[in-house]
Amino acid sequence: PRLANQIAAGEVVERPASVVKELVENAIDAGSTRIEVEIEAGGSRLIKVRDDGSGISEEDLPLSLSRHATSKITSLEELEGVASLGFRGEALASISSVSRLELVSNTDEDPRNGWRVVAEGRRMEPRVSPAPHPRGTSVLVRDLFFNTPARRKFLRTEKTEFGHVEESFRRQALSRFDIGWVLRHNQKTLHQLPLAQTDDERERRLKSLLGKNFLDNALTLDIEVGSLRLWGWVGLPTHSRAQADQQYFFVNGRVVRDRLVAHAIRQAYRDVLFHGRHPVFVLYLDVDPAVVDVNVHPTKHEVRFRDGRMVHDFLFSSLHRALGEARA
């Protein structure tokens, strides 16, 4: 079974950034209000994610490392309407098969009542021992791919790997303003993002994650039609040093890459602004969950809208109008 985990790990765990993504999704699913990500050496030496969520109980701790152990769905019907980010019960098993993994967790308010479990590569005899920890969970992943040298060889420089980690962090921190976030690399704090409830607080977060230039040249919008709401920030043509990768789109709080969405934005942008400009945006589409299927594929960030045409037209006309007014 450990070998199966290592094979499965190839799908989930490509590089440090994919580990961060999975661990942070678990922290979000646990209802955390504060998530800290700590990285050493681009993630190849250490990836630590600490949260203040529900925690994992003593008896569930070893189970959480075994394959297909998920607490998130119990039936196929549930899979249909699944609201949590992870539901396959594969991430922790896969990650632990290619690293030295330590899990410390506490479901109790008393910080003395925590538990720890350790797994190392294929050797998996997770003994649970008492360990103090505030309510919530810390997952420490050390020496990623230490036992799969071929995969370790594929890791790029520390800087490149950390770049991917930061990008993953950026998406997740933009997806949830109701969570406070911290990102550290080699003991240095790069992002410290308190809960953001007001417009000012949200813009402060944007500034930290995307830079001052993005915000200085962006238009704020918030348009609601029927059960559809589009809000967020779109870059204006004055945004001369627009970075090609500053494109973030969230549907009901989830990162989404979708052709229909991309097309609608590009069309509106091209129509109103200069040709050849690269659209930059941080946009949130909130829709009735009944008209969208977000779990087409758990890792590919795809969505399927019941009425794609309507969503496309709503996005296009909302952006077209907002950009047109800004230009006039």
Q: What is the contact surface with ligand ADP in residues (CB under 6 A)? A: 22, 26-27, 30, 51, 53-56, 64, 69-72, 86-93, 137
Nearer to ligand ADP by Cβ, of 44 and 54: the residue is 54
- Enumerate residues 235-254 that contact Mg ion by CB under 5 A: none
Q: Rule CB under 5 A: is residue 26 a binding residue for Mg ion?
A: yes
DSSP states of 75-142: SHHHHHT--SS--SS-HHHHHHHTSEEEEEEE-SSSGGG-EEEEEETTB-----EE----SEEEEEEE
What's the closest the beta carbon of residue 23 comes to Mg ion, in angstroms?
Answer: 8
Nearer to ligand ADP by Cβ, of 105 and 246: the residue is 105
- Residue 172: phi and psi, rounded to 5, are -70, -40
Q: How far is CA 24 from CA 48, 78, 118, 175, 182, in A?
A: 10, 22, 19, 12, 12
- Residue 240: phi and psi, rounded to 5, are -75, -35
Integer Cα distance of 323 and 320 in angstroms: 5
Among ligand ADP, Mg ion, none, residue 51 binds (CB under 5-8 Å by kind): ligand ADP
Nearer to ligand ADP by Cβ, of 56 and 303: the residue is 56
Q: What are the structure tokens assigned to 44, written together?
A: 């190849």
Q: Rule CB under 5 A: is residue 91 a binding residue for Mg ion?
A: yes
Taking CB atoms, the residue at the shortest distance from Mg ion is: 86
Among Mg ion, ligand ADP, none, residue 137 binds (CB under 5-8 Å by kind): ligand ADP
Q: Rule CB under 5 A: is residue 30 a binding residue for Mg ion?
A: no
Integer Cα distance of 124 and 126 in angstroms: 6
Select from 43, 55, 86, 126 the one that contacts Mg ion (CB under 5 A): 86
What's the closest the beta carbon of residue 18 comes to Mg ion, in angstroms?
Answer: 12
Cα 207 from chain centroid? Answer: 18
What's the closest the beta carbon of residue 310 comes to Mg ion, in angstroms?
Answer: 32
What's the closest the beta carbon of residue 57 comes to ligand ADP, in angstroms?
Answer: 9
Q: What are the structure tokens assigned to 174, written together?
A: 């933009």
Nearer to ligand ADP by Cβ, of 87 and 231: the residue is 87
Nearer to ligand ADP by Cβ, of 79 and 225: the residue is 79
Nearer to ligand ADP by Cβ, of 60 and 286: the residue is 60
Which of 257, 228, 216 has its CA nearest to residue 318? 228
3-state DSSP helix/strand/coil % of the chain, to nearest 5:
40, 25, 40
The β-bridge relationship of strands 100-106 and 180-185 is: unpaired
Would you tell me which residues interact with Mg ion (CB under 5 A)? 26, 86, 91
